[in-house]
Chains A and B, each alone.
Chain A
Amino acid sequence: MSEPVAKPKSSAALVQSRRNALRSYLGAYGFMAPAGVLVIIFFLIPVAIVLYLSVTNLASSNFTSDLAKMEFIGLKNYQTLLNDQFARKIFFNTIFYVLVTLSLFNVSLALIVSLLTTHIDRSAGFVFRALWILPRITSPVVYILIWKRMMAEAPFGILNQFNEFLGQPTYNYVATNPWVFVVVVNGFIGVSFGMIIFTSAIESIPKDLLNASLVDGSSRMQRIRYVILPLIRWPLLFVVTYQTLSLLTSFVEIQLLTDGGPGLYRTEVWSLTAYHRALSNYFGNAQWGYGSAFAVLLVMIGVVLAVIYMRVFRFDELVAEPRVEAL
């Protein structure tokens, strides 16, 4: 029996193993390349362009065919922004909108819908969930038009026609309670994302575990509290994180519903402002540079929030290598 001694590698073998290492290295990047290209084209490059625009004075009022006339003005746009008398209001509008919609609809109602529909007959649960997906898959324009038709003032709105028919006073719903409608209309869209994630998380809890809890003496409510909720902790935190960021950047529905009004900036949110300033100014002047400054701040807030969430919720634990099963 010879001793197992590590043989010195021949130079040919060395070249071979280097080649293998290179190949697997290239393989890894090859697989990541499509996603990488998408990130570069649709995220990094636009961010770079917007970053650049935000330090220029580019606007339709000074726009010529000679873009070189665009002037570098440093942080002046940011200065203007901080001194903007409405920036503060819009900032708090945004926080209000994101917090309320997220907590009431995107998380709570999503959780309630998925808990309810997983505790009833399977096919009935499926039907209810399908209904909740409708707002998401309907085109925003159509979806908002439906709401506007329902809620429009007398004599156009369907609800108000009912009111008139019943001899009740009529209301200008959206104008009197714009925030209620902004939150509800967006909330109905937002429910489906969390609902799908929570439902699949609940359904992937082993049946034995759920049965064991009942046999151990829990009611169905106690089972939700002590077993189901702790077991879907990661999906919950993920939905909170993801939906915060997507609410921060969403504005199409608000634009279509109230366009930030009624009145001055009553329901205007940050991302909508960026759009208004850059592309659809009331006064016909598209301030591309100034709007970009809004957008840049939004991206920064989003990145900071994402990092905070990842720290607080310890997402690194979620993706950590599983400990060796001691079975």
Chain B
Amino acid sequence: MEIRIDNLTKKFGDVVGVEDLTLHIEDGEFVAFLGPSGCGKTTTLLTLAGIYKPTDGLIRFGDRVVNTVQPKDRNIGMVFQSYALYPHMTIFQNIAYPLKLKKAPKNVQNEQVRQVANVMGIGELLDRRPGQLSGGQQQRVALGRALVKEPDVLLFDEPLSNLDARLRLTMRGEIKHLQKNLGITSIYVTHDQVEAMTMADRIAVMNGGHLQAFDAPDELYDRPKTRFVAGFVGNPPMNFLDVEVSPANGQFLAQADSIELPLGVERGEASAGHRGTVVMGIRPEDIQIVDEGDVRGEIFVVEPLGREDLIDVRIGPHSFILLADTEKQHRAGELVSLNFDMTQAQFFDPQTERSLLWHQ
């Protein structure tokens, strides 16, 4: 089912849930809504589900405008962070509930519930009650309940946030696998950018009720269109620095206090046209500790992450996060030389926060 959202606004009194959201989702696509808590992801999802009526704008499922269509007439399946299983029903009754409401015959209900339960690996739990299941099992039941009615659209609201890290990893794979197999158009809300990056075909990044970007994961990562996207996508997050970019002997130079970084023509021209300072962004993996580099600084803190060390290097008043091999055994207080891979640097307008490199 193709979903087209045009200029969608949802307000609660004066509080803006989501504003002027335009988003076209293709049939069978897996889209993630990514953004910090309170940015309007759940609001958008519940508006799509028909729980909230849009304040303004149009929502279309296929060619049908569904703005005022009741939730029960939208044929959607939804999975909640809290699982939202009915505590007074058995697992069987939980999964059968959508079928019962559709008035499916008892034997059909029985058959479909068992089939879905087997796919989800919860076949032996059907007689239990939700309270007797682990979080992971409950989430499988919730997924089964959403799938049993063969929905046109699947909505997920942070479904894995309450699970432990290992289970999250397994379920991530399973959900993605299921979605691809069944080809159901899906919207997956999360504040975890790793989840969004690994699962989604495209990611809608939201902040403060506004859509920041809607792109494929690697596109978001390599060519962030706003400073917010650049800072939100990627872990550890991108380093930002106010710099002045000016031409210097056929090349360009990005400058901030004692830091001077040579810059290629393409990126230089795009950012130097700007009067005054611009915001430069550079990812941790694009800064290396080398023997002989562009700038020198002092290691402030070393945080071992296991596979690598997260290192905070101070250069004058500026601070940079970067990653280094644990075998190098860097220590706080050590003086190091840094090399910046400026072919990967991003530049943003300090006022509009839009990228100077990738225009929309």
Q: Which residues of A contact B (CB under 8 A)?
A: 206, 208-209, 211-219, 222, 226-227, 230-231, 233, 323, 325-327
Question: What's the nearest-Cβ distance from chain B to residue A95, in Å?
Answer: 32
A214 and B50 contact, Cβ closer than 8 Å, known pairs A219-B70, A326-B133: yes
The number of chain B residues with a CB under 8 A from chain A is 29
> A215-B49, A218-B72 are known contacts. Are A206 and B131 too (CB-CB below 8 A)?
no
Closest to B88 in A: A230
Q: A235 to B78, alpha carbons, bound, how many Å? A: 29
Q: Is the CB of B51 within 8 A of A206?
A: no
- Given the known A-B contacts A218-B101, A222-B101, A230-B88, are A206 and B82 also in contact in the complex, defined by CB atoms under 8 Å? yes
Interface string of B78-90 (1 = CB under 8 A from A): 1011101011100
Contact A212–B84 (Cβ < 8 Å): yes
Max chain B C-beta neighbours (<10 A), residue from A214, A227, A231: A214
Q: Annotate B83-110 by CB proximity to A: 1 below 8 A, 0 otherwise.
A: 0101110000000011001100000000
Asked if B131 contacts A215 (CB within 8 A), the reply is no
Chain B positions 25 through 61: 1 when the CB is less than 8 Å from some CB of chain A, otherwise 0:
0000000000000000000001001110000000000
Looking at the assembled complex, report how far the CB atom of B345 sits from the nearest CB atom of chain A, in whole angstroms.
43
Contacting residue for B82 out of A208, A230, A325, A327, CB 8 A: A208
Give chain A nearest CB distance to B242 CB in angstroms: 43
- The residue from A208, A217, A323, A327 contacting B102, defined by CB atoms under 8 A apart: A217
CA distance A222 to B46 in the complex (A): 20
| Closest CB in chain A relative to B44 CB, distance in Å | 14
Between A and B, 28 residue pairs with Cβ closer than 8 Å are A206-B82, A208-B80, A208-B84, A209-B86, A211-B49, A211-B84, A212-B84, A214-B49, A214-B50, A214-B70, A214-B71, A215-B49, A215-B50, A215-B77, A216-B72, A216-B149, A217-B98, A217-B101, A217-B102, A217-B149, A218-B72, A226-B86, A226-B97, A323-B131, A323-B132, A325-B131, A326-B132, A326-B134
Q: Measured between alpha carbons, how far is A226 from B86 in the docked complex, in Å? A: 10
Contacts of B155 in A (CB 8 A): 215
B78 surroundings in chain A (CB, below 8 A): 211-212, 215
Q: How far is the CA of A218 from the CA of B50 in the complex (A)?
A: 12
Task: Contact check, B135 vs A327: say whether CB atoms are below 8 A apart.
Answer: yes
Residues of A within 8 A of B80 (CB): 208, 211-212
Give the residues in chain A near B131, CB-CB below 8 Å: 323, 325-326
Interface centre among B77, B80, B81 (most CB of A within 10 A): B80
Shortest distance between the CB of A100 and any CB in chain B (Å):
30
Please report which residues of chain B, range 271-297, place their CB below 8 angstroms from some CB of chain A when the two chains form the complex. Answer: none
Q: B152 → chain A, closest Cβ, in Å? A: 12
Contact A214 B84, beta carbon cutoff 8 Å: no
3 smallest beta-carbon distances between A and B, as pairs: A208-B84, A212-B84, A217-B101
Partner of A214, one of B72, B86, B133: B72
B49 neighbours in A (Cβ, 8 Å): 211, 214-215
**Is B227 on the interface with A (CB-CB < 8 A)?**
no
Whole-angstrom CA separation of A217 from B73 in the bound complex? 7
B50 neighbours in A (Cβ, 8 Å): 214-215
Listed residue (A211, A215, A231, A325) with the most chain B CB atoms within 10 angstroms of its CB? A215
The one of B70, B87, B101, B134 that contacts A216, using a Cβ cutoff of 8 Å: B101
The residue on A at minimum CB distance from B52 is A211
Nearest-Cβ distance from residue A122 to partner chain B, whole angstroms = 11
* Most B CB within 10 A of own CB, among A211, A212, A233, A326: A212
Is B160 interfacial (CB 8 A cutoff)? no
Determine whether the beta carbon of A215 is less than 8 Å from that of B51: yes
Q: B140 contacts the other chain (Cβ, under 8 Å)?
A: no
